[in-house]
Amino acid sequence: MIDPVIASRLQFALTTIVHIVFPVMSMGLAPFLVYFTWKEIRGGDPVYEQLRRFWTKIFAVSFVVGTVTGIVLEFEFGTNFAAFSTIAGELFGGPLAIEGMMAFMLEATFLGVFVFGRDRVGDRLYFVSALAVGLGTWLSAVWILIANSWMQTPRGFELVESGGREVVRLTDPLAAYLSPRFPYMFVHMQNAAVLSVALVMAGLGAYYVFRHHVWGNTVPHADFWERTLKIALVALVITAPFQVVHGDVYARHVSESQPQKFAAMEAVWETDSYVPEYIVAFPTSVEDMTNPKAKDIFGIGIPGGASWLASGGDPQATITGLNEFEGAPPVAVVFWSFRIMVALGFWFVLLAFWGAFRWYRGGLLDDDLLHKALMLSAPLGILAVELGWVVTEVGRQPWVIQNVLRTSEGVSPGLTGGEATLTLLSFAAVYLGLLTLYGYVLARIVRAGPPGREELRTVDAEDADAPLAPGVTVDD
């Protein structure tokens, strides 16, 4: 049997890793759907109605599966981390409750109109539904990240005696809910979601463009996929560089507010200055992979780079080593996750400007190497998000609330190793099945493709009050 603390941590990690895929898809799609709806209502090119209808299906599936897996995550606070819920419930429960009452209900209420009501409501109300669904999706992230950011940089509370134990009492809601970490987490997460969806869109668009223009196959709706590729590239050019720049600012904040986590990200054990930053690093042995302490690795290091990153410009700055702290996270997990995430970030920038350059030179639709790179990179945005959360959550260990409550102290006291192991294995099977089913449904949606032009909404041209389909005028 697995120790209940380890099993509970593994179970929560597993469910989070699977769950995060679905909100990333829905949050990332939200601004695209608002844009497609706006362009469709303005009239003109029918491709925007195709885009809106096609990607709405994927959004709806992601929302449904994300809701199911998200509810289970909240139950785990009671089943596996009851001690944490008891101690931090007054502060932690508020944002989760507000997320359900405000964001989820807003999104769920208007989702029915947005998915099924295009032919039943006017343009203005339909556009309002698109905005409300997008807003609800992003508001969900606000309250979830408020709760998580407080765990990273807790503020606005005091510890009081209640029932024979210390518990958190909320003293300053504004300070607690707007902790120093929140703006960094929110901006980084939302931009990452849009970037991830743009990569998925670019990969799908590149696949069909490759088949049509390079292989010479007849591809239905070739113009749809070309437009998808171009819109995705525009989003990539905006989000990929911003993610790198903001990541630099974010890392500096981590070094100031969680120096232990930053030391784990750089595998700094002894307090030192002029610490190099390994932009590219490869282990030279199994021991190097599991223990990057010695840094006997092959890589490209910038002398003083880590010190410069931590201080905001001083390559001689001192980084406090892990030996100065009580306890340390699994350093190898944090170190390599951070390296891979950063490498992916720079790859996305290269990919974005590569595509933009080929578009500018008129070769976007014929560059088979670019198409293959985009296809292979389609899932990498979500992988980067997963790695970012590994750095965020594993790097905080051994604390579940930084410097307030250890993870081992937050696990349900009555939970046995057998119970924890059984639920871990059960959740692994169920969540693997859910992820497989989600992939199968998305594959069917993609293979079916967008609706044909002949399937698009038509109206009676004599009905002056009816919303017109794109490209349809009263004169028609």
DSSP alpha helix (H) spans, 293-330 = 305-311
Residue 224 token pair? 């749809």
Q: What distance in Å separates the CA atoms of residue 14 and residue 399, rounded to the nearest whole number?
A: 19
Q: Contact at 8 Å (CB) between 394 and 333? A: yes
Tokens 């343009």 correspond to 123
Domain assignment of residue 118, yes or no: no
pLDDT value of residue 233: 97
Q: Rounded to whole angstroms, how far apart are CA atoms 242 and 190?
A: 12
In sequence order, what are the residues at sequence separation of 6 or more whose Cβ sits closer than 8 angstroms to the Cβ of residue 59? Answer: 25, 26, 29, 30, 33
Q: For residues 396 and 6, what is the distance between their CA atoms, to the nearest angstrom?
A: 15
Name the residue among 331, 342, 181, 189 with its Cα closest to residue 260: 331
C-alpha triplet 397, 66, 237: angle, nearest 5°: 80
The DSSP letter of residue 167 is E
- Tell me, rounded to whole angstroms, the distance of Cα 93 from its chain centroid: 22
Question: CA 439 → CA 58, 433, 449, distances in Å?
Answer: 11, 10, 15
pLDDT at 96: 84
Encoding tokens for residue 167? 């518990």
Please state whether beta strands 318-319 and 297-302 pair in parallel, antiparallel, or not at all (unpaired): unpaired
Q: What is the DSSP letter of 48?
A: H
Residue 369, domain member (yes or no): yes
Output phi, psi for 332, to 5 deg: -60, -40
In a domain, 359, yes or no: yes
Q: Is 170 inside a domain boundary?
A: no
Q: At what angle do helices 380-394 and 331-360 cross, to 10 degrees?
A: 150
275 in any annotated domain: yes
Residues 6 or more apart whose Cβ sits within 8 Å of residue 474:
461, 464, 468
Question: pTM of the prediction?
Answer: 0.90
Give the DSSP letter of residue 328: -
Report yes or no on 139 lying in a domain. no
Q: Does residue 293 lie in a domain region?
A: yes
Within 8 A by CB and 6+ apart from 244, the residues are 345, 346, 349
Hey, is 55 helix, strand or coil?
helix
3-class DSSP assignment, residue 442: helix
Give Rg (Cα) of the chain: 24
Buried b (16+ CB within 10 A) or exposed e, 259-294: bbbbbbbbbbbeeeebbbbbeebebeeeebeebbbe
Tell me whether residue 98 is in a domain: no
Domain count, the chain: 1
Instruction: Please give the chain's pLDDT, 476 residues, in tens.
Output: 788 899 999 999 999 999 999 999 999 999 999 999 999 998 878 899 999 999 999 999 999 999 888 888 888 888 899 999 999 988 888 888 888 777 778 888 898 999 999 888 999 999 999 999 999 999 999 999 999 999 999 999 999 988 788 899 999 999 999 999 999 999 999 999 999 999 999 999 999 999 887 676 677 788 899 999 999 999 999 999 999 999 999 999 999 999 999 998 988 888 988 888 777 666 666 666 666 665 556 666 778 888 888 887 788 888 888 888 887 888 889 988 998 999 999 999 999 999 999 999 999 999 999 999 999 999 999 999 999 999 999 999 999 999 999 999 999 998 888 998 999 999 899 999 999 999 999 999 999 989 876 666 543 333 334 443 444 332 33
How far apart are the C-alpha atoms of 451 and 55, rounded to whole Å? 11
- Boundaries of domain holding 286: 192-402
